[in-house]
Structure 1
Amino acid sequence: MALLPQKRLYRQRAHANPFSDHSLRYPAAPNRLDWSTHFPDGEPPQWADIGCGFGGLLVQLAPQYPNVRILGLEIRVQVTDYVADRIAALRVAHPSSYNNISVIRANAMKFLPNFFKKHSLSALFFLFPDPHFKSRKHKARIISPTLLAEYAYVLRPGGIIYTITDVKDLHDWMNTHLSNFPLFQPIDEDTLRAQGHGPVLDAVYTSTEEGKKVQRNKGDKWLACFQRIEQPL
């Protein structure tokens, strides 16, 4: 049985400056990316976890949604390597599982359309993103007016954006900007659970390292979900 990688060997700074030159490699267009290096069937992902951290969401959802291909995007080198090694070890230990998840080192703020075709995703996850507290750093927040058009581009009508944070100010920021964007409309937790999204929401709350830390400290978690609509109401 393959041993799971030890997280302590992959540690690095909690956050990375998305505007720095990270010497990233990325496809010129989505059709230039060979998805067979990530998923056995060679098909592109349907869900994307932006800033996936140590891959908690991917690992929790993989066996629950074996027919959904889920991709994590992470900008930090060591953390991406950990997730890749974690997935590889899980695939060895459980040969019939975890083939539907993978990870790519990427800067989603700059290159998201290079990876995903128009309307190709049905879910986007933004779980406990960097709050960038200082006003001059707000431009680096992963939910911002300049990025929402890209999220609307890659998300199909009916697709869901999931956001969660333990920072009330950031929750208000994300909620306000998503609410003001004409191609997204809020969808409440009860409605999503009634539609069968309960396991996804449970993972959103509890699967990540940050989510578990907040839970241990008995902190608040602020959830906001939005649905991509066909056209403005």
Structure 2
Amino acid sequence: MLEKETNPVFNKSTGLPRKRFYRARAHSNPLSDSHFPVPVSPSHVDYSLHYPQFFALPDQMNDSKRIQFADIGCGFGGLLISLSTLFPETLMIGMELRDKVSEYVKERISALRVSNPGQYQNISVVRTNSMKYIPNYFEKGQLMKMFFLFPDPHFKEKNHRRRVISPHLLDEYAYVLGIGGIIYTITDVEELGDWMKSCLESHPMFEPLTDEELDADPVVKLLSSATEEGQKVARNGGQTFQAVFRRILPTE
């Protein structure tokens, strides 16, 4: 295997993988069958493979070191990279269906760990279909933040069942989110933005954050700037539509 310094897949000056070698279709059909390993249950997820520095010693293997943030459809990993230094003690994972894209994120994180000793140890990526296998990865109430940034709009009405935010899927997200946990969504498609907001407003286990809470949350500022899609929208002067909701106990 070629060393990174001579391998054209990697940038010589930064050591990071080049995106052009990992390009794939913008979206995949989440209802199609894919072939990749899926843990039988959350207890079968081997955290030491994803976060070796956090689990180097036996006494570090405890419930406090569980994944708390999940970026659903993480793309090329821009949000994970930004969140990693903002929350250095929080374990977070990107979930991506496209094999080439997930491999890019894996290589990107590996390169960042090498070039920045001690940093980026708290992020990882897994290739999976989050619309099917969320309960296989997370326990009840485990997560505190879930991100759905620029998801596939699936414009045709017959394909709305493929949307990653839906009343049925919100039941699963509510299951894995702890009370007070937050769902962040953003899109540049107004109709999809209205759809996601409406689904969340109609669900008894979610309430919107107030304007004051949104202004005080440093994560909100990353939604439109940390990802490749968000940066593209900004360059083109496009609009974005956000919906940020908190997991609550349903009222009687």
Counterpart check, 1:67 vs 2:86: no
Counterpart check, 1:21 vs 2:33: yes
Moved over 4 A (4+): none
Code of the aligned partner of 2:50: H
How many residues matched?
Answer: 230
The Cα offsets for residues 156-200 of structure 1, whole Å up to 9 and x where unpaired, read as 000000000000000000000110000001113431333xx22x1
Superposed, which structure 2 residues align to 1:136-175 within 5 Å? 136-175=158-197
Secondary structure at 2:238's aligned position in 1? coil
Residue 98 of structure 1: how far off its partner (Å) = 0.2
TM normalised by structure 2 equals 0.89
Superposed, which structure 2 residues align to 1:79-228 within 5 Å? 79-194=101-216, 197-198=217-218, 200-228=219-247
1:54 and 1:80 in contact (8 A); partners too: yes
Q: Which has the higher contact order (CA 8 A, sep 6+)?
A: 1
Name the stretch that deviates more: 58-67 or 117-126: 58-67
Supply the distance in 2 between the matched residues of 1:232 and 1:53 (Cα, whole angstroms): 36
1:188 and 1:224 in contact (8 A); partners too: no
Supply the distance in 2 between the matched residues of 1:2 and 1:37 (Cα, whole angstroms): 24
1:189 and 1:225 in contact (8 A); partners too: no
Supply the distance in 1 between the matched residues of 2:21 and 2:50 (Cα, whole angstroms): 24
Secondary structure at 2:86's aligned position in 1? coil
What are the ranges of 5 or more consecutive residues in structure 1 without an aligned counterpart?
Answer: none
Superposed CA RMSD: 1.2
Identical counterparts, % of pairs: 50
Supply the distance in 2 between the matched residues of 1:185 and 1:202 (Cα, whole angstroms): 20
The Cα offsets for residues 23-75 of structure 1, whole Å up to 9 and x where unpaired, read as 12111100011111111324321100000000000011111210111110000
Code of the aligned partner of 2:222: A
Counterpart check, 1:41 vs 2:58: no
2:186 and 2:193 in contact (8 A); partners too: yes
2:54 and 2:121 in contact (8 A); partners too: no
Counterpart check, 1:58 vs 2:70: no
Code of the aligned partner of 1:44: R
Code of the aligned partner of 2:183: I
Which has the larger Rg? 2
What are the ranges of 5 or more consecutive residues in structure 2 without an aligned counterpart?
Answer: 1-12, 56-64
Code of the aligned partner of 2:74: C
Code of the aligned partner of 2:226: S
